Amino acid sequence: VTRDVLNVSNSILHVAKQYFQNDIQYLRPEIAMKDLGTRVRICQWQEALNLEKQPRFGPNQALIYSSTKNPNEVDLEMNQWLNNHPFILTSLDSKGLEFDDCVVAFDVERKAWDINSGKVSSLRLLRELYVAITRAKRRVVILIKTKKMKDFFMSLQGCNIEESDAIVALLEFDSATTTDEWLKRGDELFQDDQFKM
DSSP string, 46-77: HHHHT-SSPPPP-TTEEEEEEESS-HHHHHHH
> What's the pLDDT at 62?
92
95 has a pLDDT exceeding 60: yes
| Per-residue pLDDT band at 163 (split at 50, 70, 90) | very high
pTM of the model: 0.86
Q: Which percentage of the chain shows pLDDT scores above 90? A: 29
% residues pLDDT > 70 (the chain): 90
Q: In angstroms, what is the C-alpha Rg of the chain? A: 16
Separation between Cα atoms, residue 49 and residue 68, nearest integer Å: 19
Rounded to an integer, the average pLDDT of 123-136 is 92
Q: What is the pLDDT of residues 46-84, one digit of tens each?
A: 999 898 888 888 889 999 998 887 778 888 888 888 888
Determine contact, residues 56/172, Cβ cutoff 8 Å.
no
Grade residue 31 by pLDDT with cuts at 50, 70 and 90: low
CB atoms within 10 A of CB 95: 14
CA distance 101 to 124: 23
